[in-house]
Chains A and B, each alone.
Chain A
Amino acid sequence: MGSAMPEPEQLSLPAIGAGTPRMSVEESARIAELLDRLDRAEARMADAIAHIRQEEAAAQRGRNPLESIEPRLWLRWLVGLLLCQVAPPAAAASPAPPRLSIVTIAGGDTDATARTLESAIAQNYPAELIVVDLGSDPAWARRYEAALSARIPAAGASAETGFALGLARATGDFLTVLAPGDTLLPGTLGRVGAHAARHPDDRILVLERVIERSVWRFAGGPVEPASLAAVPTLLPQGAFVRRHDFDRAGGLDIAFGGMPAPALWPRLLRQHGARLLPGQGVVLPVAEPAERELPLYATGTSFWHRLRIRLGRRWRLAFPADEAGPVPAAAEPAPLVAARCPITDRLPLALLFSTPDTRFAEPGMSEIWYHPASHCAAMGPPLDPEEQRRLTRRDAGRTGFVIEPDPGAPSPFRHWRGRSSLLAQLGRLNLPGSLAGAFGRWADPTEAELRRMLRGLLPEGVLPRLLEINCLDGSLLDRFQAEGWHGSGTASEAEDAEAARAKGHEIWQAEPIDLLRVIPPERRFDVVFMSMVLEREIDPLTVLQRAARLVEPDGVLVLSAANLDSAQIDCFGPSWAHWHAPYNRFLLSKRTVAQMAAASGLELVRSRSFSHPYWSWMSLRLNASGLAAAIPHGIKPDAPTASRAATLALASRLLHDWRGRGDYFYAVLRPARG
């Protein structure tokens, strides 16, 4: 070590003194900007390191929650487990939801950006909102100043550069981009955050999309597990990427180069794959059907996951935008308001489609949402009770005119062929008139079905007390009273109540939700019957709970409702007659009724489904005309379609009714014995 170390190279720095030329303003600004960028880059690196540590800790927690338990406690738990059922060791506290960064741009169309921002703010989730301002109105920018985490001025920059600048500034755990006008569905950020917190190994989360064409909204179609890399964009809408992985894949270059790292998105997908979350996340407005309707591809989903998507109930109720055909032109769409679950009050997971009033052509659009946990459909936007009553009156009046769109005019889902099924094929046949007459039972089946449902459930030798909720003019009560039953009813309308009273029935005038107010406390009934009541109520669970208190301990509550499990939905899709929005507020299934019954202290003891040719005829007519048409109920069926409807109803009876897939279902509930 005798040789001397070489001297480090001396930098030739300019002397600083009185004669040194002063730095120009531009130069100092440039240096300040570089220093600022350097600071930000350092901060992001520190952030990324902290993130990796957190992630590792979370992964450890997720993989082996029992690892940190002391051996002595383990032993105690094990002994307890062998001898009796004991509580498992307490799991680690659930990790905090991650911070999500949403980047959007504001250009000439500030209204579009405003819609995007409003939808993000309405999520009520601690998200970081970043707007890259490509030259918007300053007054507009001030309006959202308080809600924004950052507003980056970049006048004149391209949209892609704008998104890149925004992503470079983002500090959340997950990043996503929204184009102006794109909106988040209610509850999306909550779902993404909850999933990301529970699954620290998931790097890219993808949600399905809703396609918005003027006032019409349709499902964007199920995500196909092919190559999402084909989407030519920095980040596709509906995809959330962990910032750490985004940076590692070259995202940080954006901050310095001003341009996204080349082929960033395909690289991210190749490295990590994408996790497909159930349900939809983003609404994309499109002007033309073909525009932006590229299927959203995801890699990394397993064969079983794909199979589940194809075979699952959601798939059965998916009516994608590309099958809807052209839509009539209309004004600006109203903001989306989700219809909550009638049992859990949770937000829906998916939007099925939007529809106008196809019965009486009332103005306005309704959205039909799906709740997989309770397997029911809910209609939005929510109505106030007064409006709901008006619609019920309108519906009961059954006065309307057939409105057919011109053959060349756009009418969504016109002649929609549905899934190929035996029922659909049979529905295209025309039974000869005599056969149609013989098999197609067009009479009102309510009385026969009610008697069938009650068979063997009521005590022998006692004339039961029957309460029919919404009995209209009491025609059903007439028939039961003729046999000696004690018939009572409730009617919402004074005229109906008077008409039924005139026939000698005991009638209370009240809405179904106010039953307990008007029926004296000492009155209870052996049979409480509700036909097509629950699905029209704003709060069906409350109505069922209150009706349950009128049932004798050994009595029953019978209800009938349109069936969301109907096989005819597969044939007619959105043109199935029983969607009936906005009059129906919910479409229930046997599972929904069982859950509602449990929440009301009742239990489901019997159920049965059936199909009726009249409603098959309605569906056939609507399917032939599309959703722009209006086909009121109560009109006489035309002969050719009636024959097909009779065939279809007969086929439904043979193939589907007996397994609970008829158009309607009856359910018998009785007080739970526990």
Chain B
Amino acid sequence: MERARISIVTPSLNQGRFVERTLASVLGQRYPRLEFILMDGGSTDGTAELLRRYRRHFAYLESTPEVGPTTPVQRGLARAGGEILAVLGMGEMLAPSTLDFVTWYFAEHPRVDMIYSHRLLVDEADRVIGHVLLPPHRHRNMRRHPLIPPETAFFRRGLYEQAGGVDPAMQAISNFELYLRFMAIGKLARADRFLAAHRVLPTSRATHRMEAVGAEELTQLRAELPRGPWQEFQDWRLIQSIVWRSDRFVRSGRTKPGAWPGMGYSYDEIWAGTLSNPRDGGV
């Protein structure tokens, strides 16, 4: 199978504890046409030293304090040369064989411009603490709520360029704003699996500030969208559907690629112990 080149951009700032997990999950894919771009904003907690150890695996490594009007993600994506692009936050982890699946999916569905998947939540100790199982993609649902998990989003380079890239004016929900523009011009699809895991950390004051800013930005974006008379009911129905799907997955005992049913197990088990011991995974 002809493999597409995939560029993954990972911004990082003082997340030394989780750096190896993220790197192990990306490099453990054993994907031959991977372009891994790491944008460190001048970490002071030892992340920089750790990244230097993995230097040979990165197509580009930037380790300087944030400067200029552009964000690290913007700069990283601007450098990316892959046909498929993704942004993976430091601390987040790809599921095994994610890149193989993404390549296969885009090859099989040439009209799809972006895919995302359900969301898996893990805590600081890699324990799985929750799932968000999304319904099949519909613009009508997804444009009102920032539900698309950014760590699971993979999009074609053409779509990104056509949309005009990340809007630096958005502080908290730049991903959502970008996906809104994607929805306006491209075709999106939800894969019925878990492509990555999102790490939930205890919220800090800075996070609360960002949440407040995010809520404000979301209100602004929603104000531009049409609002039907049943909007509130539809919103409630969407949320209920997600809750029901997630609950049913946890109880059903059926596995989906990238996650096991139930909660409390370590995400490292999905990776056969190679996140905590990257050497066992050949990284």
Contacts and interface: CB of A to CB of B under 8 A. Distances in A.
Interface of A: 80, 83-88, 514, 516-522, 524, 541-542, 545-546, 548-550, 552-554, 595, 598-599, 601, 671-674
25 contacts: A80-B240, A84-B241, A86-B241, A516-B280, A517-B280, A518-B282, A522-B30, A524-B32, A541-B272, A545-B272, A546-B272, A546-B281, A548-B96, A549-B30, A549-B96, A553-B3, A553-B97, A553-B103, A599-B260, A671-B101, A672-B193, A673-B101, A673-B104, A674-B193, A674-B257
A87 B243 contact: yes
B283 A86 contact: no
A552 B244 contact: no
Interface of B: 1, 3, 27-28, 30, 32, 95-97, 100-101, 103-104, 191-193, 236-237, 240-241, 243-244, 247, 254-258, 260, 270-274, 279-283
A552 B1 contact: yes
Contacts, number: 90
Contacts of B280: 514, 516-517, 546
A517 B280 CA distance: 5
Contacts of A524: 30, 32
A674 B192 contact: yes
Contacts of A86: 237, 240-241, 244
A546 B274 CA distance: 9
Nearest to A542: B272
A517 B101 contact: no
Contacts of A80: 236-237, 240
Given A517-B280, A599-B255, A85 B28 contact: no
Contacts of A518: 282
B201 to A, nearest CB: 27
B154 to A, nearest CB: 14
A402 B256 CA distance: 48
A601 B274 contact: no
Q: Shortest 8 CB-CB distances between A and B: which pairs?
A: A545-B272, A674-B193, A87-B244, A553-B100, A86-B240, A598-B255, A516-B282, A542-B272
Contacts of B258: 601
A668 to B, nearest CB: 17
Given A85-B241, A545-B270, 18 more contacts: A80-B240, A86-B244, A516-B274, A516-B281, A517-B280, A518-B282, A521-B282, A546-B280, A548-B96, A549-B30, A549-B96, A553-B1, A553-B97, A553-B100, A553-B103, A553-B104, A598-B255, A674-B101
Contacts of A671: 97, 100-101
Contacts of A546: 272, 274, 280-281
A427 to B, nearest CB: 38
A522 B32 contact: yes
Contacts of A550: 30
A549 B191 CA distance: 20
Contact of A601 (B28, B97, B103, B236): B97
A66 to B, nearest CB: 16
B137 to A, nearest CB: 15
A421 to B, nearest CB: 33
Nearest to B262: A344
Contacts of A598: 254-255
Contact of B96 (A519, A545, A552, A595): A545
Nearest to B247: A87
A88 B241 CA distance: 10
A545 B193 CA distance: 17
Contacts of A541: 272
Nearest to A599: B255
A299 to B, nearest CB: 33
A548 B100 CA distance: 12
A672 B164 CA distance: 34
Contacts of B100: 553, 671
